[in-house]
Amino acid sequence: MTSFSTSPSTGTQSGTDGAVVPNVTHEHDKVLVPKPLRKKPPEKVMMYAGLSMPVLLMILLPLLYTWGLHSPSPRHMEVSIIGSSEQTSQMAAGMQAQVGSSFDFGVIPDAESARTAIMQLDTRGAYDPATNTVYVASVGNLAAKQAATAVLKSIGENVAGATPNVVDLAPAPASDALGNTVMFIAIAAIMGGFLTATMMRLLLPGMGLRIELAILAVMSAISGIIPTFVAYSVYGALSANVLGVALLLSAFAFVIGSFHLAGMRLIGPAMVLPTLLIMLLFGVPASGGAIAPEMVPGFFTHLHSVLPTPALIEGLKRLVYFPDAPLGATVTTLAVWAVIAIFLLVLAALKHPAEEEPLLTNFGPIPDPVEEESAPAESVEPADPADPDSGGSDSPGRASGDELATSAVEGDPR
């Protein structure tokens, strides 16, 4: 018969006949050790961080909105003089010297070209000396129309000696007297994408990215449909290009939601403030929805061409009221922010790989647990009652149960 001996250093067994048999570890000898969880911040830190958010919003919202919108005045607003003669150019140059940087005067050769430029939002207004007529478009922006009308009427009164006739090429409809409905539905769509991403990350933080994007896509479509339905069907405020409006709202809701989702995956709930700052606190004053971008402080004027909120509102305005105006700037801004969102999603995936989450929140296979081999358990021999060193009951150093009972009866202190 062959007997085996185990080598502690090599983990193998060798037989008397020289055969070497590898030591086999069975599944029941392994211990599953969970990965350590990330340390949760102290409760005071969490409380102060949470309370700082509403305080910052209470400070920033009135600070930025009041700064941007409380005192509108034209800055480099485009207006034009109609004519092709040298006298027309001299008139434009003379007016430019008088108004300084408030208006930028240009020259347009004829009235038809002026109408086209106004309806494509290339200029806010035009004055025709030949007919003493001012052309404007109220629905483009009421404040901008008033500013352009005032300066062009003053030219007509000086040149012709009479109050010029004002022709409004795109008057605001009675159903949308201020032309602000597009701004309201744009904000609704933006909030739809933003809040969807926020709730998913706060309530279901372990959800897979593909599932999150699928849910966001569905909610973005809803974010486009509901505001469109309210504006067109409930109030009848808008009437043109309903499909284009719904699609544009949905596209921006998805891109903005993806941007915020990527930020939440990257830095957590702290992303809420940057997103609100970019999309609403900076975006609305710079949008031109309430006040034309040429009439707000220069900081917001520069943001008008780069932020998604102004691009969305400008695109909606063109779809509804200025169908001949190009949408190139809106589409370009949408594409740029889509690229930014993709970059942040990739960065978040590289920095924070998918964590091990339960199946219901991860929507994927449960990952294999970390396994560590346990040390071999030492055998414990039963105690021999006759052996004093084994802890038996007859050990002189330990009294038996009968001895303790007898001692208690006899009053023995033991």
Lowest mean pLDDT among 6-20, 220-234, 249-263: 6-20
In this structure, the strands spanning 77-82 and 125-128 are: parallel
DSSP string, 256-287: HHHHHHHHHHHHGGGGHHHHHIIIIITHHHHS
pLDDT of residue 366: 44
3-state class (DSSP) for residue 84: coil
Residue 85 pLDDT > 60: yes
Q: Taking the domains of the chain in order of start, what are their residue ranges?
A: 77-171, 180-362
Q: What is the Cα–Cα distance from 233 to 341, expressed in whole angstroms?
A: 33
276: nearest Cα among 342, 340, 181, 197: 197
Q: What is the Cα–Cα distance from 163 to 153, expressed in whole angstroms?
A: 7
Q: What is the Cα–Cα distance from 319 to 304, expressed in whole angstroms?
A: 18
Residue 147 pLDDT > 70: yes
Query: Tokens 């300084």 label which residue?
Result: 100
Both tokens assigned to 35: 């990965």
pLDDT of residue 350: 87
Q: For 167-217, how does the pLDDT look when each residue is reduced to its tens digit (9 = 90+)?
A: 999 999 999 988 899 999 999 999 999 999 999 999 887 888 899 999 999
Beta-strand ranges (E) seen in 267-393 are: 371-373
pLDDT of residue 318: 95
Residue 371 pLDDT grade (very low, low, confident, very high; cuts 50, 70, 90): low
Q: For 57-75, how does the pLDDT look when each residue is reduced to its tens digit (9 = 90+)?
A: 899 999 999 999 998 999 9
Query: Tokens 């009164």 label which residue?
Result: 157
Q: What is the Cα–Cα distance from 285 to 303, expressed in whole angstroms?
A: 9
In 161-241, which residue ranges form alpha helices assigned H by DSSP? 181-203, 209-229
- Which has the higher per-residue pLDDT, 26 or 186? 186
pTM attached to this predicted model: 0.74
Task: Please provide the average confidence, as pLDDT, over all residues in the chain.
Answer: 82
